[in-house]
């Protein structure tokens, strides 16, 4: 089977460019429109278009794509954002690194002129907490450029927005499943071209609460009070 790529999208002006780039490769593409104001319109034999009637969050869109991938017979899938930051040409690096039941993270090269210091700090901050929660040292825990096993559908994931991408790593690790990362190139646009739906107040609050919960869970697991 050709590799499967899931593209969660919400109000991105670049979605058609992202899809056009993906179509230069032999991939099965699943686009999940997460309640965009103007719905994506696509008709292509290699593209499955799924639509959420209202915005439900990036994590929910990924899970919707995962369920469709499973229904199509896939055991794994790649996720790529719809903001042009991730490069279709780099997907092969995730495919080459993948092993069954492993999450592969694309560790983005941040040595680019347009990357703000706040993003660099945010990545280091996230990496630190995920290391405490998973006992794994990872280079880019905020990256949405990943390859997932379908088995993430079996995890009891509670968070369905940007915090999904942290929780899925922790719960996957609690199952003693592997997480690895590979170096990838990315395109980081100048500030006036960026598309982000990250709410600095609400989403940072969600992430802070999540890290607190995961650290507590890890402590209880170590003490034998919880079972993964």
Q: Report domain extents, the chain.
A: 4-223
pLDDT at residue 153, rounded to an integer: 98
Which stretch of DSSP H or E encloses residue 221? helix 202-223
Tens digits of residue pLDDT in 95-128: 999 999 999 999 999 776 667 767 777 788 889 9
Please name the CATH architecture into which domain 4-223 falls: Alpha-Beta Complex (3.90)
Residue 187 CA: distances (Å) to CA of 27, 86, 115, 126? 21, 6, 10, 21
In this prediction the pTM is: 0.86
8 A C-beta contact, residue 147 and residue 74: no
Q: Give the residue from 4, 16, 68 showing the smallest Cα distance to 42.
A: 16
Alpha carbon distance 32, 40 (integer Å): 9
Tens digits of residue pLDDT in 1-46: 899 999 999 999 999 999 999 999 999 999 999 999 988 888 899 9
Q: Is 211 helix (H, G, I), strand (E, B) or coil?
A: helix
Q: Which residue has the tokens 């490069």?
A: 87
8 A C-beta contact, residue 207 and residue 162: yes
Alpha carbon distance 151, 19 (integer Å): 26
């Amino acid at each position: 089977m050709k590799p499967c790529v899931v593209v969660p999208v919400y109000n991105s002006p670049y979605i058609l460019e992202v899809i056009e780039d993906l179509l230069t490769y032999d991939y099965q593409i699943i686009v999940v429109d997460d309640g965009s104001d103007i719905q994506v319109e696509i008709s292509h034999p290699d593209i499955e278009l799924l639509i959420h009637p209202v915005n439900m969050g990036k994590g929910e869109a990924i899970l919707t794509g995962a369920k469709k991938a499973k229904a199509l017979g896939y055991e794994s899938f790649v996720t790529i954002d719809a903001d042009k930051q991730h490069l279709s040409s780099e997907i092969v690096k995730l495919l080459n690194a993948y092993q069954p039941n492993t999450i592969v993270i694309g560790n983005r090269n941040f040595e680019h002129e347009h990357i703000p210091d706040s993003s660099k700090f945010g990545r280091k901050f996230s990496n630190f907490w995920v290391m405490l929660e998973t006992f794994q040292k990872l280079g880019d825990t905020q990256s949405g450029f990943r390859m997932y096993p379908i088995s993430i559908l079996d995890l009891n994931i509670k968070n369905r927005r940007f915090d999904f991408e942290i929780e899925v790593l922790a719960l996957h690790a609690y199952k003693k499943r592997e997480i690895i990362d590979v170096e990838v190139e990315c395109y980081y646009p100048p500030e006036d071209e960026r598309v982000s739906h990250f709410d600095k107040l609400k989403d940072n609050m969600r992430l802070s609460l999540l890290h607190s919960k995961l650290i507590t869970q890890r402590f209880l697991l170590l003490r034998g009070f919880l079972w993964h």
